[in-house]
Amino acid sequence: MSISFRVRFDRVGKLQSTVRNVQHMEIDLFIPDSRNILYSVERQLRSSNLEENNVTIITGNSSLPGYREGSAERALFRKVTSFTQLDNATLLLVDSDNYCLRYMDRERDMTSIALGVCGSSAQANIDGNFSTARFSSKPLSLTQRSQDLLLLTLLNSNDIKQINRIEQTIETIFSIPYTFTPPMKLVLSAKRCDVLYITTQANILMADLTTKEVNSLNPSSTTGSRDGPLSVTTFQNPYGLAFLNADTIVVADRSNGVVRVVDLHNQSTSTICKRGLHISLIDGSIASCTMLRPLSFLHIPERGQLLIGTSISIRVLHLTYLTAQGQLC
């Protein structure tokens, strides 16, 4: 358990401007401090030191799509949309356009297949053992439910999959009602560890993993950019999301080109930055800054930063932590 603090948003700046489509970011556990991050950029996995602003390619080739296992230097990917660190040296990567999940061993600098048949789509999504599981829908977003259990969404599928890394199995644990469009990205609640928050084309869903009950934070199924009470809030293709504390979620509202803030306590939404009209984005206060197609987040409380992965750069939102607000799960 850790303490949750209220957060004030201060200013937005640029961290890196030579990256494209930053789909996922995490603190790099292979390098034991909070100065190094891992992030996926299309066909590559990279590491960067936040203070020195250097970049190391971990695996993949940005200009050569394909499928090839072996040494990290020679391995090829088509699109890494998500990953998780199973331990300090082992990564599980979602190679979405290759229809498979793959391991990366950083101590040996080697990649290997985990589940699915890389480079080939099946006629149906097949659960079961890692050796026999298949994907007809592209795997998309991965998050850890516990040390041994992971949750997975599939592109154009309403199923939520659970991966058991000890038993080496994958199963469908529930499906999003078809009144909603298929799920995209997902994250566990910071307040209740049995609740999952999921983005769809127009909604932020809340799914209880125990009861399998699914509800929408915003009732409207119409896309838009309206702030205010959640009862009238609209989104347009929200993608990544992250908790900053027990009651505050940031959402990458990618087609609106802005970051939205969901206040669960007050049941309301607001917007950070304006939509940028070109790649020359404006830094500064949250009222004057501009943003372009945000995709992912990484909250680093130790540094008072929220990293924002976008289609053209990694931005940094500086935070101030105020009064304590209770416990996180």
Both structure tokens of 35 = 């100065």
CA neighbor of 161 nearest in space, from 82, 85, 219, 87: 82
Q: Which residues contact 128 (CB under 8 A, 6 or more apart)?
A: 169, 170, 171
pLDDT tens for each residue of 68-117: 999 999 999 999 999 999 999 999 999 999 999 999 999 999 999 999 99
- Domains observed in the chain: 1-18+190-205+215-329 (2.120.10.30), 31-183 (2.120.10.30)
- Name the helix (H) or strand (E) containing 211: none
Both structure tokens of 78 = 């088509």
Model-wide pTM > 0.85: yes
Contact 327, 16 (CB under 8 A): no
pLDDT tens for each residue of 2-32: 555 578 888 998 887 767 899 999 999 998 7
Contact 231, 243 (CB under 8 A): no
pLDDT tens for each residue of 181-209: 999 999 999 988 899 999 999 999 999 99
pLDDT tens for each residue of 273-322: 999 877 778 899 998 999 989 999 999 998 999 999 999 899 999 999 87
Sorting pLDDT into bands at 50, 70 and 90, what band is 1?
A: very low
